[in-house]
Amino acid sequence: MPIPFRPIGAQILIRAIKKPRETMQGGLYVPSKEEGPIEGIVETLGAGRRDEHGKLILFEVTPGDRVLFARYGGTEVKVGDVSYTLITEDNILGILS
């Protein structure tokens, strides 16, 4: 089903892949202390960014790519019941194969 949200300009919409929560004996939740990057799926892209001469620079990522992105590099948005992160390509660390 298409997402009813389209980023503009140099913005990228990513759906984070949640890792399963760790539990202790007795079912108590242990919050993750992980501070590294987050894995996610690129859902949709804006048009791209422009250089100082106005030339459009296209993205290196495409919808469906699995990427690692900076934990605090974007803005969380909620579309319907799903949470996404809206970021620029500068905050994507790499594409997973």
CATH code of the domain containing 73: 2.30.33.40
Provide the residue range defining the domain that includes 42: 11-18+36-96
What per-residue confidence (pLDDT) applies to 21?
A: 55
Domain assignment present for residue 3? The answer is: no
What is the number of domains present in the chain? Answer: 1
What per-residue confidence (pLDDT) applies to 73?
A: 85
Better pLDDT: 20 or 53: 53
Domain assignment present for residue 70? The answer is: yes
What per-residue confidence (pLDDT) applies to 19?
A: 63
Please give the Cα distance from 97 to 61 (Å, whole number): 12
What per-residue confidence (pLDDT) applies to 30?
A: 61
| CA dist list (Å): 86 to 22, 42, 51, 56 | 27, 10, 21, 20
Tens digit of pLDDT for each residue in 21-78?
555 656 666 655 667 789 999 999 999 999 999 999 999 999 999 999 998 889 999 9
Task: Evaluate if pTM is beyond 0.85.
Answer: no
Q: Which helix (H) or strand (E) holds 41?
A: strand 38-45
Confidence of residue 96 (pLDDT cuts 50, 70, 90): very high
What per-residue confidence (pLDDT) applies to 2?
A: 78
